[in-house]
Amino acid sequence: MEHSEGRGGMAEVWVDGTLMTVCDSVSTSDNRCRPGLMQGVSFRFTRDEAIDWNDAVYANGHKKILMEPISGWSYAGYGRVESVMPVKINFGLMTMEDPEWSTDEGLVGHFVAVPISCLELIPAPDGDYPE
């Protein structure tokens, strides 16, 4: 953690040497995350719009793997589908589940482009984030 405006606000975090702007869903209302190494956290993203998987594949014809900042905590995510049910996409810096699942095994291995409305820092799903 580099900086946080508190729960629900913008935060800056380092991921493998890249400074990323995210929504802070780890701080509590009375305790803002302090700068330093964080453990027991992960990332998730939301989208404001549904995507068609065929369009997502077409939009990443150059087979890019990266998280391209748009503004604030919005990104253009370019990555490779690792699995379905749920869809897991490798964006290079991180692998995350897409909120729109698919059962189409044919997606696995394809490169996709995904509009990310909000990249969010959350307690790890296994619940081991120290409060």
Residues 37-74 pLDDT 10s: 888 899 999 999 888 999 999 999 999 999 999 999 99
Q: pTM here? A: 0.89
Residues 68-98 have pLDDT tens digits of 999 999 999 999 999 999 999 999 999 999 9
Tokens of 63: 């087979």
Rg (CA), the chain: 15
**% the chain with pLDDT above 70:** 95
According to the model, what pLDDT value does residue 33 have?
87
Distance between CA atoms of 76 and 68, rounded to whole angstroms? 5
Residue whose tokens read 């990443």 = 60
Helix/strand/coil for 54: helix
What type of residue is 88? K
Q: Are 24 and 4 in contact (CB under 8 A)?
A: yes
Query: Cβ contacts of residue 127 below 8 Å, gap of 6+?
Result: none
pLDDT band at 30 (very low <50, low <70, confident <90, very high): confident
How is the chain split into domains, by residue range? 3-123
- Residue 24 above 70 pLDDT? yes
